[in-house]
Amino acid sequence: MLRNINPILSPDLLHALRAMGHGDEIVIADANFPGSSTGPDCIRADGSSASEVLRAILSVMPLDTFVPDPALTMQVVGEPEAIPEAVADFQTIIDEVADNGAHIQGLERFAFYDRAATAFAIVQTGERRLYGNIILKKGVIA
Protein backbone atom coordinates (compact mmCIF):
# COMPACT_ATOMS: atom_id res chain seq x y z
CA MET A 1 0.00 0.00 0.00
CA LEU A 2 1.03 3.57 -0.63
CA ARG A 3 -0.18 6.81 0.88
CA ASN A 4 -2.43 9.06 -1.16
CA ILE A 5 -2.70 6.49 -3.99
CA ASN A 6 -6.15 5.13 -4.75
CA PRO A 7 -6.05 1.36 -4.03
CA ILE A 8 -7.86 0.71 -7.34
CA LEU A 9 -4.53 1.58 -8.97
CA SER A 10 -2.97 -1.88 -8.92
CA PRO A 11 0.80 -2.37 -9.27
CA ASP A 12 0.38 -3.28 -12.95
CA LEU A 13 -1.81 -0.25 -13.63
CA LEU A 14 0.54 2.11 -11.76
CA HIS A 15 3.45 0.72 -13.76
CA ALA A 16 1.62 1.31 -17.05
CA LEU A 17 0.61 4.85 -16.10
CA ARG A 18 4.17 5.69 -15.03
CA ALA A 19 5.67 4.16 -18.18
CA MET A 20 3.36 6.08 -20.50
CA GLY A 21 4.71 9.20 -22.14
CA HIS A 22 3.05 12.40 -23.29
CA GLY A 23 0.49 11.59 -25.98
CA ASP A 24 0.23 7.89 -25.11
CA GLU A 25 -3.31 6.62 -24.67
CA ILE A 26 -4.93 4.25 -22.20
CA VAL A 27 -8.33 2.58 -22.60
CA ILE A 28 -10.72 2.03 -19.72
CA ALA A 29 -13.04 -0.69 -20.98
CA ASP A 30 -16.31 -2.22 -19.85
CA ALA A 31 -16.84 -5.93 -19.20
CA ASN A 32 -18.04 -6.55 -22.77
CA PHE A 33 -15.05 -4.95 -24.51
CA PRO A 34 -12.63 -7.33 -26.29
CA GLY A 35 -9.73 -6.19 -24.10
CA SER A 36 -7.54 -9.27 -24.33
CA SER A 37 -7.79 -9.60 -28.10
CA THR A 38 -7.55 -5.95 -29.13
CA GLY A 39 -3.77 -5.77 -29.02
CA PRO A 40 -2.15 -3.78 -26.20
CA ASP A 41 -1.47 -5.19 -22.74
CA CYS A 42 -4.72 -5.84 -20.91
CA ILE A 43 -4.75 -5.00 -17.20
CA ARG A 44 -7.64 -6.58 -15.30
CA ALA A 45 -9.75 -4.55 -12.87
CA ASP A 46 -12.81 -6.80 -12.77
CA GLY A 47 -13.91 -5.71 -9.30
CA SER A 48 -14.16 -2.04 -10.24
CA SER A 49 -16.48 -0.01 -12.44
CA ALA A 50 -15.13 2.05 -15.33
CA SER A 51 -16.10 5.20 -13.42
CA GLU A 52 -14.08 4.14 -10.37
CA VAL A 53 -11.05 3.40 -12.53
CA LEU A 54 -11.43 6.70 -14.42
CA ARG A 55 -11.54 8.64 -11.16
CA ALA A 56 -8.46 6.80 -9.84
CA ILE A 57 -6.45 7.29 -13.05
CA LEU A 58 -7.27 10.99 -13.26
CA SER A 59 -6.08 11.40 -9.67
CA VAL A 60 -2.52 10.73 -10.90
CA MET A 61 -2.52 11.33 -14.67
CA PRO A 62 -3.04 14.64 -16.50
CA LEU A 63 -5.04 14.85 -19.70
CA ASP A 64 -3.30 16.18 -22.80
CA THR A 65 -3.90 19.89 -23.38
CA PHE A 66 -2.31 19.94 -26.86
CA VAL A 67 -5.15 18.08 -28.59
CA PRO A 68 -8.85 18.94 -28.85
CA ASP A 69 -9.97 15.42 -27.89
CA PRO A 70 -8.00 13.90 -24.96
CA ALA A 71 -11.05 11.85 -23.90
CA LEU A 72 -12.91 9.67 -26.41
CA THR A 73 -15.86 7.32 -25.99
CA MET A 74 -17.64 4.89 -28.30
CA GLN A 75 -20.73 6.28 -29.99
CA VAL A 76 -24.00 4.40 -29.65
CA VAL A 77 -24.51 2.30 -32.77
CA GLY A 78 -27.23 3.91 -34.86
CA GLU A 79 -27.56 6.88 -32.47
CA PRO A 80 -24.25 8.76 -32.54
CA GLU A 81 -25.69 11.77 -30.67
CA ALA A 82 -26.99 9.67 -27.75
CA ILE A 83 -25.18 10.02 -24.41
CA PRO A 84 -25.27 6.75 -22.46
CA GLU A 85 -25.40 6.82 -18.66
CA ALA A 86 -21.76 5.71 -18.38
CA VAL A 87 -20.56 8.51 -20.68
CA ALA A 88 -22.51 11.15 -18.76
CA ASP A 89 -20.87 9.82 -15.59
CA PHE A 90 -17.43 9.98 -17.24
CA GLN A 91 -17.98 13.64 -18.13
CA THR A 92 -18.95 14.46 -14.55
CA ILE A 93 -15.79 12.74 -13.26
CA ILE A 94 -13.57 14.58 -15.75
CA ASP A 95 -15.18 17.87 -14.74
CA GLU A 96 -14.58 17.11 -11.04
CA VAL A 97 -11.17 15.42 -11.05
CA ALA A 98 -9.12 16.20 -14.17
CA ASP A 99 -6.53 18.91 -13.81
CA ASN A 100 -7.18 19.85 -17.45
CA GLY A 101 -10.87 19.84 -18.25
CA ALA A 102 -12.04 18.25 -21.47
CA HIS A 103 -15.30 17.67 -23.25
CA ILE A 104 -15.65 13.99 -24.21
CA GLN A 105 -15.76 13.36 -27.95
CA GLY A 106 -17.34 10.29 -29.58
CA LEU A 107 -15.92 7.84 -32.08
CA GLU A 108 -17.83 5.41 -34.27
CA ARG A 109 -17.66 1.86 -32.84
CA PHE A 110 -15.07 0.42 -35.24
CA ALA A 111 -12.99 3.61 -35.22
CA PHE A 112 -12.95 3.28 -31.42
CA TYR A 113 -11.70 -0.33 -31.69
CA ASP A 114 -9.00 0.76 -34.15
CA ARG A 115 -7.87 3.55 -31.82
CA ALA A 116 -7.90 1.20 -28.82
CA ALA A 117 -5.66 -1.22 -30.72
CA THR A 118 -2.92 1.44 -30.79
CA ALA A 119 -3.21 2.37 -27.10
CA PHE A 120 -0.46 1.82 -24.56
CA ALA A 121 -2.71 -0.44 -22.46
CA ILE A 122 -6.31 -1.46 -21.87
CA VAL A 123 -7.83 -1.62 -18.40
CA GLN A 124 -10.64 -4.18 -18.49
CA THR A 125 -13.12 -3.33 -15.74
CA GLY A 126 -16.20 -5.06 -14.43
CA GLU A 127 -18.38 -2.24 -15.81
CA ARG A 128 -21.80 -3.62 -16.83
CA ARG A 129 -23.31 -0.42 -18.24
CA LEU A 130 -23.33 -0.40 -22.03
CA TYR A 131 -20.81 1.89 -23.75
CA GLY A 132 -18.73 2.15 -20.58
CA ASN A 133 -15.49 2.65 -22.54
CA ILE A 134 -13.18 5.65 -22.70
CA ILE A 135 -9.77 6.42 -24.17
CA LEU A 136 -7.58 8.96 -22.36
CA LYS A 137 -4.55 10.73 -23.84
CA LYS A 138 -1.83 11.46 -21.30
CA GLY A 139 -0.63 15.02 -20.89
CA VAL A 140 2.57 16.45 -19.44
CA ILE A 141 3.48 17.18 -15.86
CA ALA A 142 5.30 20.48 -15.48
Compute the half-sphere exposure of residue 63: CA atoms within 13 Å on the CB side of its CA.
24
Residues 6+ apart with CB under 8 A from 76: 82, 84, 131
Angle among Cα 26, 75, 111 to the nearest 5 degrees reads 60
Active site residue 64: yes
Closest Cα partner for 99 from 39, 55, 59?
Answer: 59
Q: Rounded to whole angstroms, how far apart are CA atoms 81 and 87?
A: 12
Active site residue 22: yes
Please tell me which residue in 30, 64, 95, 99 is annotated as part of the active site. 64
Please tell me which residue in 22, 95, 99, 103 is annotated as part of the active site. 22
Give φ, ψ of 68 to 5 degrees.
Answer: -80, -10
Please tell me which residue in 12, 15, 69, 113 is annotated as part of the active site. 113
Catalytic residues: 22, 64, 113
